[in-house]
Chains A and B, each alone.
Chain A
Amino acid sequence: MSEPKHRANREYWATRIGLILAMAGNAIGLGNFLRFPVKAAQNGGGAFMIPYFAALLLLGIPLMWVEWSIGRYSGQYGYGTTAGAFGLLTNSKRGATIVNFLGALGITVPLLFVIYYLYIESWTLAYSFFSLTGKYFGILDYDTMSRFLASFQGKVHGEHFAGLATALLFFAITLALNIYILSRGIATGIERLAKIALPTLFLFALILFIRVLTLGTPDPSKPENSIINGFAYIWNPQFSQITQSKTWMAAAGQIFFSLSIGNGSIITYASYMKRRSDIALTGLTTSITNEFIEVIFGGSIAIPVAVAFFGLTQTIQIAEGGAFDLGFVAMPIIFQKLPLGQLFGMIWFLLLFFAGITSSVALCSPAIAFLQQQLRLTRNQAVFWVGLILFGCGLPVVFFLKYGFLDEMDFWAGTFGLVVVAMIEVILFAWIFGMNKGWREITRGADIKIPAIFKYIIKFITPIYLIALLLFWSYQDGYRVLFMIDRSATDIPYLWGARAMMLGVTILFFVLVAVAYRIGTIRHHQAHMQQNNQ
């Protein structure tokens, strides 16, 4: 098949290692260092690794290969997002139109996700600065440090921060950095960031890993508060837990979030690959790099050091409080008790910042790719408009955090939406496009041989796993969130505001997909359909 002419001006990754690092950066995020250790400790310790690696093999890696394949395949036709890519997976013209409109979700879900993710990322930059300047130094009790965070976030007033000015400043800086990187393009922006950020992130994680391992028992009068007991909390297996479905769902959920599946960014990144570039080995390398960072480093820093300084009982309470309590309350207290605490604190928060920014630029990419390729904007124009959406929609996240605005977005975009998109794409790929063609796509140009059993895993096991995950979360959280059970009357208008904003952004992109059809940048590919039928 001759190369379609719209690929002539398309961007490509400059190097294979740059692509791997960019994809790994997409996957590696705050969750590797904060969410994973909490989930592991709460769901069976070492025994959690059994459902965790099962989910990696049956859900994570297969979906990675599916998304990479869809991306590389659709890039040939000038599509860098699911709006356009989905239509290529069906021979029916009407079907293609329907799934392309559904594919708008593959743009809006990551965009809505990154709107609040950027705010959290800005906290890591702010806390890096606070570590350097020692702003939180002197606060050694948990409640006061909680109030420091709450004051920074604007949840309480007139304590450590006068208002939201500091938070807004760091949000603006973080947004500006993301926009700058995105405006530079794939090779000189995102890839260059990955080549700097990933090795730096690895180095920072290694430094903290060694620092934690050499801590021993910080307070000899409390011998039970030790790094070894911290490791024991995460790794001592509780086999009784793996007979529970919630453990398997927790493992599947962690793999799903950890590998950044279902948010469209992998498809966009893969669309910048050349047709015969390997997917099998490159996708596997990306996944395993993420797992290395998550399990070895992520599992060895926050929780063990929290047990060493707070003891097991309080660490369990901190973990139940969530990732923010662990990362932004417990850790700043711990750093103050270490020699060179300001330095280690800065390293910890910069580690989280690098993990965050490599993910946030990926999450912005589908919307930018769509505006560039389907609405024919220049890259700078596309980045400008996406930046404007992020700024405009980010302000309510900043101002209404205490009313649950961010949490509402996190459920619909950052949890429910991802699984819905992933389910659509795997069913389209395996059942509509067909696993024979799909397998040919996955294995085209492959540098390793993928066991044939994955053909059946992708077709049968992965969709069932996803449906089970969706039903489980809907049962566990969906009803409560949908009907705002146990929410205060004060919060409810803001939650509806969050929903209205999410709906507005979604409708906007449905309209833009219609515009793309109108101007012919999404269309029915007759030649492609004929080839598929051969």
Chain B
Amino acid sequence: MTHGLTTAGLVFVIVTWSALLIVTIFCFWKVLVSKREQWNQANSEESENDL
């Protein structure tokens, strides 16, 4: 029978949720950054072709 969230339970919640939040944000940030780099690379290649 549970009587409230124990310290251990709270630790599991905080650690799990924090890890998931951090990794999810990191992954989406990396996706956005790599997209910007691809655009920049494609644009610079296009500029070189124009010259």
A224 to B1 Cα, complex, angstroms:
10
A278 to B4 Cα, complex, angstroms:
45
In the complex, the answer to whether A231 meets B13 with C-beta atoms within 8 Å is yes
Given the known interface contacts A291-B20, A447-B34, the answer about A231 and B5 at a Cβ–Cβ threshold of 8 Å is: yes
Interface residues of A, CB < 8 Å — how many? 30
Interface SS, A side: helix
Min CB–CB distance A275 → chain B (angstroms): 15
A452 to B37 Cα, complex, angstroms:
25
In the complex, the answer to whether A296 meets B20 with C-beta atoms within 8 Å is yes
Given the known interface contacts A229-B3, A312-B2, the answer about A285 and B8 at a Cβ–Cβ threshold of 8 Å is: no
Could you give, for residues 7-51 of chain B, a 1 whenever the CB lies within 8 Å of some chain A CB and a 0 otherwise? Answer: 011111100110011011001101100110000000000000000
Interface residues of B, CB < 8 Å — how many? 24
Asked if A235 is at the interface (CB within 8 A of a chain B CB), the reply is yes
A296 to chain B: closest residue by CB: B17
In the complex, the answer to whether B34 meets A278 with C-beta atoms within 8 Å is yes
A45 to B12 Cα, complex, angstroms:
9
A225-243 contacts to B (CB < 8 Å): 228-229, 231-233, 235-237
Interface SS, B side: helix
Could you give, for residues 30-62 of chain A, a 1 whenever the CB lies within 8 Å of some chain B CB and a 0 otherwise? Answer: 000000000000000111010000000000000
In the complex, the answer to whether B12 meets A288 with C-beta atoms within 8 Å is no
Residues of B contacting A292 in the complex (Cβ-Cβ under 8 angstroms): 20-21, 24
A236 to B9 Cα, complex, angstroms:
4
Given the known interface contacts A292-B24, A295-B20, the answer about A233 and B30 at a Cβ–Cβ threshold of 8 Å is: no
In the complex, the answer to whether A281 meets B30 with C-beta atoms within 8 Å is yes
In the complex, the answer to whether A232 meets B5 with C-beta atoms within 8 Å is yes
A373-398 contacts to B (CB < 8 Å): none
Asked if A17 is at the interface (CB within 8 A of a chain B CB), the reply is yes
In the complex, the answer to whether B20 meets A235 with C-beta atoms within 8 Å is no
In the complex, the answer to whether A46 meets B13 with C-beta atoms within 8 Å is yes
Asked if A200 is at the interface (CB within 8 A of a chain B CB), the reply is no
In the complex, the answer to whether B31 meets A236 with C-beta atoms within 8 Å is no
Could you give, for residues 214-231 of chain A, a 1 whenever the CB lies within 8 Å of some chain B CB and a 0 otherwise? Answer: 000000000010001101
Residues of A contacting B10 in the complex (Cβ-Cβ under 8 angstroms): 235
Given the known interface contacts A46-B13, A237-B9, A281-B34, the answer about A232 and B20 at a Cβ–Cβ threshold of 8 Å is: no
In the complex, the answer to whether B27 meets A281 with C-beta atoms within 8 Å is yes
In the complex, the answer to whether B1 meets A448 with C-beta atoms within 8 Å is no
In the complex, the answer to whether B35 meets A285 with C-beta atoms within 8 Å is no
Interface residues in chain B, defined as those with a beta carbon under 8 Å from any beta carbon in chain A: 1-6, 8-13, 16-17, 20-21, 23-24, 27-28, 30-31, 34-35
25 CB contacts below 8 A, A to B, read A46-B16, A49-B12, A224-B3, A228-B4, A228-B5, A229-B2, A229-B4, A232-B2, A232-B4, A232-B9, A233-B2, A235-B9, A237-B8, A237-B9, A278-B34, A281-B34, A285-B24, A285-B30, A288-B20, A289-B24, A289-B27, A295-B17, A312-B1, A447-B31, A448-B30
Known: A281-B31, A447-B34. 12 other contacts (CB 8 A): A46-B8, A49-B16, A229-B4, A231-B5, A232-B9, A236-B5, A281-B30, A281-B34, A289-B27, A292-B20, A292-B21, A295-B20
Q: Which 9 A-B pairs have the closest CB atoms?
A: A46-B12, A232-B2, A236-B9, A285-B27, A235-B9, A447-B34, A232-B5, A292-B24, A292-B20
